Structure 1
Amino acid sequence: MPNSRRIRVPYFSQWESAGLTSAVVAEGERALLGDPLWQRSGAASVGEYARWANNLCGMACLKMILGARGEDHPTLDLAKACAAYGGYVVNEAEASIRGLIYAPFVSFVEQRFGLRAEVKTGVATAALPSVLDEWDFFIASVNPGIRWPEREPSSKGGHLVLVTAATAETIRFNNPSGHAPATQADVELLPGVFDGFFANRGIAVSL
């Protein structure tokens, strides 16, 4: 399924241990506190890592994009830098994190990494091939249940995946919270199935 530009994209999970998704779904932050690889995230403590990790799907997508040009950045370093641009709203008193906020993220990646990026809304699934003809990637808002495409989601959006190619027959993407290898890298779904999860918005990015 060729894209107009086929770029080799490494896979990164939003958790440092990519196999943790099922445990995180079942146990939440407690599972992240047991991640033996947490220090790779760039967090100062395992608590800081666990507090951020559920919000890092967008940064995992960015890490994959930057990885496509040979760069490797700790995921939490990216998140904190993005927060300085307003891409996350961090309330230390309530230990809450809100984001990813799209417009500040665009400013962040353009100014910090020289990427070209644009917020897109009202994007029909059928239009994704055209988007990917113009742009290298599309960070798409989907329901996190897309890891189980056979299940009908209750809503659309709430999670971000990196769409790397699209045709009228299939959508290919990397899912930062896939629960098994087949649902993580180079996942391919029929457009009609993808559409059930897709919130018709996201961020187009080019290197």
Structure 2
Amino acid sequence: MKGSALTHPVPYYSQWESADLVPEFITSARSAADDPLWQKSGADSREEYAFWAPRICGMACLRMALDHWGHPVPPSVPLLREALGAGAYVRSGDQVKGMIYAPFADWAARRWGLYAEVRPRLEPEEIHSEISRGHLVVLSVHKSIRTLDPAPPARGGHLVLAVGTGPDGIRLHNPSGLPGRSQQFAPVPWADLGRFFAGRGVVLGQHARGDQ
């Protein structure tokens, strides 16, 4: 990978309010309903928060981008409700389909004037190029990227935000990363990314397409 290293100073948001408790949430040692900071999410109840917190990695990525570009950052659950209304998520009982890229991108562009482009095929070189242009990139990866699992069972299924790249690898803000290890500015070598990355994502920019 050619080019110099560049990392954008993007604030970090976990998909759970208590980022330090993520190891307990992801192993079910503690229920999200017992997150002591759950009310900060804007949820109406512990139960509503516990349902959505494991499912809103995409909203955490969006909140990071909004903060980085100086927009007011809504609490996670009200933001999620708005995304539902925009079709970026579809809930049927206890089943949720989302984040659905196209309606998400349309909503982000309409609501905040962001550049938002769905990229169903996205190569590492393109991620590097987009970061170099000042963009951020939402990537679909397997959740086990948090530990650089040597043999993940699949690719994709979890969303992270690419905030930096360089010749040796990429830097990620991972909404379900481990504190002190893989939450913010987490380095992932290019050689490791492929076994987690589904090859698709959404490019985000500060201004709508016509203003780039």
Deviant stretches of 4+, over 6 Å: none
Deviations 1:127-186, CA, capped at 9 Å, x for gaps:
321232345100000000001114320110000000012223110110000122221000
Matched, 1:126 2:117: no
How far apart are residue 55 of structure 1 and its match?
1.1
- Paired residues of 1:137 and 1:162 also in contact (CA < 8 A): yes
Counterpart amino acid of 2:196? F
How do 1:4-153 and structure 2 match up within 5 A?
Answer: 7-27=8-28, 31-70=31-70, 71-91=72-92, 94-134=93-133, 136-153=135-152
SS at match of 1:119: strand
Q: Please give the secondary structure, in 1, of the residue aligned with 2:203.
A: strand
Q: Is the 2:5–2:167 contact (alpha carbons within 8 Å) kept by the matching residues of 1?
A: no
Pairwise CA distance, 1:22 = 1.8
- Specify the SS of the correspondent of 2:31: helix
Matched residues in 2 for 1:8 and 1:167: separation? 15
SS at match of 1:182: coil
Distance 1:58 1:66 in 2: 12
Deviations 1:52-102 (A, max 9, x none): 1111100000000011123322011111111111000022xx233221000
In structure 2, C-alpha distance between the alignment counterparts of 1:46 and 1:151, rounded to whole Å:
35
Q: Is contact 1:137-1:204 (8 Å) kept?
A: yes
Q: 1:150 to 1:51 in 2, by over 3 A?
A: closer
Q: For residue 36 of structure 1, give the secondary structure of its aligned residue in structure 2.
A: coil
User: Following the alignment from structure 1 to structure 2, what is the Cα–Cα distance between the partners of residues 150 and 188?
Assistant: 14
Query: AA paired with 1:61?
Result: C
Q: Work out whether residues 126 and 168 of structure 1, in 8 Å CA contact, stay in contact via their aligned partners in 2.
A: no
**What is residue 210 of structure 2 aligned with on the other side?**
none
Letter in 2 for 1:185: Q
Contact preservation (8 Å) 1:135, 1:204:
no
Distance 1:69 1:75 in 2: 17
Distance 1:156 1:150 in 2: 12
* Residues 137-146 or 173-182, more deviating: 173-182
Q: Distance in 2 between matches of 1:172 and 1:179?
A: 14
Which residue identity does 1:147 align to in structure 2?
R
Q: Could you state the TM-score of these two structures normalised by the residue count of structure 1?
A: 0.91
Percentage of identical aligned residues:
37
Corresponding residue of 2:186: 187
Structure 1 Cα separation of the partners of residues 5 and 83 of structure 2 = 32
Number of matched pairs: 202
RMSD: 1.6
For 1:58, the aligned partner's letter is G
| Secondary structure, aligned partner of 2:15 | coil
In structure 2, runs of 5+ residues without a counterpart are: 207-212
Structure 1 residue 195, shift from structure 2 partner: 1.6
Cα contact 1:175–1:183 (8 A) shared by 2 = yes
